[in-house]
Amino acid sequence: MKQLTISEKLCTSCGACVSACPFGALRMESVAVVDCNLCTLCGACVDACPVSAITRPESAAAVPVTDVIWRDVWVFAEVEDGHIHPVVLELLGEGRRLADQLGERLVAVLPGHETQRLVAPLVVGGADHVLVVDRPELACFQDEPYTAVLTELIRRHHPAIVLCGATTVGRSLIPRVAILANAGLTADCTALAIDPKTRRLLQTRPAFGGNIYATIECPVSRPQMATVRPKVMKPLAADPARKGEVRLDQVADALLAARAVRIGYTAEVSNTANIAEADIIVAGGRGLLKAENFRLLEDLARELGAAVGASRAAVDAGWMPYSHQIGQTGKTVCPRLYIACGISGQIQHLAGMSSSDVIVAINKDATAPIFKTATYGIVGDVVALLPKLTEAFRAAKQRA
Partner 1 sequence: MRMIVCIKQVPDTADVKIDPRTNTLVREGVRSVVNPFDLYAVEEALRLRERIGGQVTALTMGPPQADQALRDVLAMGVDDAVLLSDRAFAGSDTWATSYTLALAIRKLGGADILLFGKQAADGDTAQVGPGVATQLDLPQITYVRRVVSVDQAANAPGGALVAERLLDNGHETIRTSLPCVLTVVKEINEPRFQSLTGLRRARKAVIRRWGAKELEADPKRIGLDGSPTRVVRIFPPKLRSGGVMLQGSPDAMVAELVGKLKDLVGKAS
Asked if residue 152 binds partner 1 (CB under 8 A), the reply is no
Task: Please tell me the count of residues contacting partner 1 according to CB under 8 A.
Answer: 120
Q: CB within 8 A of 313, min separation 6: which ones?
A: 285, 286
Q: Which of 51, 101, 113, 376 binds partner 1 (CB under 8 A)?
A: 376
Torsion (CA) 371, 376, 378, 383 in degrees, nearest 10: -100
Residues 85-124 that bind partner 1 (CB under 8 A): none
Asked if residue 261 binds partner 1 (CB under 8 A), the reply is yes
68 versus 261: smaller Cβ distance to partner 1:
261
Stretch that binds partner 1, among 101-109, 116-124, 153-161, 388-396 (CB under 8 A): 388-396
What whole-number distance in Å separates Cα of residue 388 and Cα of residue 384?
7
Residue 152: Cβ-neighbour burial (10 angstroms; 0-12, 13-18, 19+): middle
Q: Which of 114, 295, 336, 365 binds partner 1 (CB under 8 A)?
A: 336
Asked if residue 54 binds partner 1 (CB under 8 A), the reply is no
Asked if residue 82 binds partner 1 (CB under 8 A), the reply is no
Q: Which of 12, 13, 101, 168 binds partner 1 (CB under 8 A)?
A: 168
What is the dihedral sign for C-alpha 347, 350, 352, 354?
Answer: negative
Q: What is the 3-state secondary structure (H, E, C) of 63-107?
A: CCCCCCCCCCEEEECCEECCEECHHHHHHHHHHHHHHHHHCCCEE
20 versus 106: smaller Cβ distance to partner 1:
20
3 versus 101: smaller Cβ distance to partner 1:
3
Q: Which of 213, 238, 292, 295 binds partner 1 (CB under 8 A)?
A: 213
What whole-number distance in Å separates Cα of residue 338 and Cα of residue 307?
10
Asked if residue 279 binds partner 1 (CB under 8 A), the reply is yes
Residues 291-330 that bind partner 1 (CB under 8 A): 304-306, 322-323, 325, 328-330
